[in-house]
């Protein structure tokens, strides 16, 4: 962990139906990397095999990146497997947060795990309260952040869609959206 | 410029009173860099001398970064100088956008130039319509994006403040907010 004397770790939540939830977390990652911090990213939904721009960037930067999901798992037919994968992601996240090595841990698309009942929100918050070292920043992203999570967090931003190119039939652009 | 055969350059606006406008632009920058794109950043307000986390990161990544402002210039006593600086930033931005070298040009905090009358929005939009190569993505950030700009843009997100640690007396944290 980098020097933490004056640092107050924040619980940050990026939610809402607009673009920019994961993207803003990546921006923080870039800033933190610029300052020489240790960073770990745990993705709860994105597939292990994805070669997104951010995964390529993290690799080039030497940032630890774990894509633990199996895609858009709420459409999955094998929900036991999904539950297992999400719980494995949370175990890994706990290890990263509590371990004292990382300054910033990003839990990408974690809110879906609460929404679909794969993780118990109350247990997650209790664990974070008891086990997160005070200097460690944690960012949680995803739509529909539950109100208890918003209550618990220090910094919450809602990304609101004003206008999206999908609406005009323009597909997602590589480099911009993924 | 990288391969542009299937690419449709977007005008992206990140606005609103919440956190994450510049930060989400940095996230796109990271993705784009991960894909090997050429990127240029022009900051309209931030001071040349700032050693923000993002500036340090850009330097390490070899990304072109121009901080053209003189700080929070709307408090400035020398408004001629401010106007001059903002116009120099726009000239530089025009060169970067039209030049055919860059895949992504970020115009950070540019909306303030419209709000305070340092740039004419109508002229800027006309120029972009006429001179932006179709594959070039442009991101404009800042509060209070004018409605004509929103109308012109392809992708607009409003970052809405839900909860901010300032409100509880916790100051901005390095690595997270700058």
Name the one residue in this structure whose structure tokens are 């999400």. Answer: A86
Of A30, A55, A164, the CB nearest to B26: A30
Split at pLDDT 50, 70, 90, the class of B168 is confident
pLDDT score at B37: 95
User: By the CB < 8 Å criterion, does A140 face chain B?
Assistant: no
User: By the CB < 8 Å criterion, does A19 face chain B?
Assistant: yes
pLDDT score at B36: 93
Residues of chain A with pLDDT under 50: none
User: By the CB < 8 Å criterion, does A57 face chain B?
Assistant: yes
Residues 6 or more apart in contact with residue B25 via CB below 8 angstroms: A27, B12, B14, B106, B108, B139, B141
pLDDT score at A77: 63
| Chain B residue numbers touching A174 (CB-CB < 8 A) | 7, 35
pLDDT score at B172: 84
Say if CB A118 and CB A86 are below 8 A apart: yes
Report which of residues B1 and B99 the model is more confident about.
B99
Instruction: Enumerate residues 71 to 130 of chain B having a beta carbon within 8 A of any beta carbon in chain A.
Output: 103-104
Question: Considering only CA atoms, which of A168, A140, A169 is closest in space to residue A153?
Answer: A140
Could you tell me the domains of chain B?
11-128+145-164 (3.40.50.300)
State the average pLDDT for chain B. Answer: 89
Say if CB B31 and CB A170 are below 8 A apart: no
Name the one residue in this structure whose structure tokens are 């070298």. Answer: B101
| Chain A residue numbers touching B25 (CB-CB < 8 A) | 27
Compute the distance between CA of residue A32 and CA of residue B139 in angstroms, rounded to an integer. Answer: 22
pLDDT score at A178: 82
A108 by DSSP, 3-state: which?
strand
Chain A to chain B Cβ contacts (< 8 Å): 201
- pLDDT tens digits along B121-158: 999 999 999 999 999 999 999 999 999 999 999 999 99
| Chain B residue numbers touching A155 (CB-CB < 8 A) | 19, 163-165, 176
Of B10, B56, B170, the CB nearest to A165: B10
CA B18 to chain centre: 16
Split at pLDDT 50, 70, 90, the class of B82 is confident
Q: Which value does ipTM take for this structure? A: 0.82
Say if CB B137 and CB B10 are below 8 A apart: yes
Residues 6 or more apart in contact with residue A118 via CB below 8 angstroms: A82, A83, A86, A87, A112
Residues 6 or more apart in contact with residue A168 via CB below 8 angstroms: B154
Answer whether residue B91 shows pLDDT above 90: yes
> For residue A146, how many other CB atoms are within 10 A of its CB?
16
Query: Mean pLDDT, to the nearest integer, of B77-87?
Result: 81
Per-state percent for chain A, helix, strand, coil, to nearest 5? 40, 20, 40
Split at pLDDT 50, 70, 90, the class of B4 is low
Compute the distance between CA of residue A11 and CA of residue A17 in angstroms, rounded to an integer. Answer: 20
Compute the distance between CA of residue A25 and CA of residue B176 in angstroms, rounded to an integer. Answer: 9
Maximum separation of any 2 CA atoms in chain B, in Å:
50
B119 by DSSP, 3-state: which?
coil
Query: Mean pLDDT, to the nearest integer, of B87-108?
Result: 96
Q: Per residue in B126-143, is it b (16+ CB within 10 Å) or e — as a string?
A: ebbeeebeebbbbbbbbb
pLDDT score at A51: 67
Query: Mean pLDDT, to the nearest integer, of B37-62?
Result: 85
Split at pLDDT 50, 70, 90, the class of B77 is low
């Amino acid at each position: 962990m980098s020097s933490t004397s004056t640092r107050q770790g924040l619980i940050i939540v990026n939610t809402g139906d607009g673009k920019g939830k994961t993207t803003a977390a990546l921006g923080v990652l870039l800033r933190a990397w610029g300052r020489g911090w240790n960073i770990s990213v745990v993705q709860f939904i994105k597939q292990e095999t994805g070669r997104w721009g951010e995964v390529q960037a993290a690799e080039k930067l030497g940032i630890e990146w774990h894509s633990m999901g199996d895609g858009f798992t709420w459409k999955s037919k094998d929900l036991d497997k999904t539950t297992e994968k999400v719980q494995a992601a949370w175990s890994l996240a706990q290890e990263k947060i509590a371990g004292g090595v990382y300054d910033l841990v990003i839990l990408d698309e974690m809110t879906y795990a609460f929404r679909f009942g794969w993780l118990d929100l109350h247990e997650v918050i209790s664990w974070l309260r008891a086990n997160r070292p005070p200097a460690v920043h944690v960012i949680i992203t995803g739509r529909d952040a539950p109100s208890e999570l918003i209550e618990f967090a220090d910094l919450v931003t809602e990304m609101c869609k004003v206008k999206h190119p999908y609406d005009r039939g323009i597909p997602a652009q590589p480099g911009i959206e993924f």
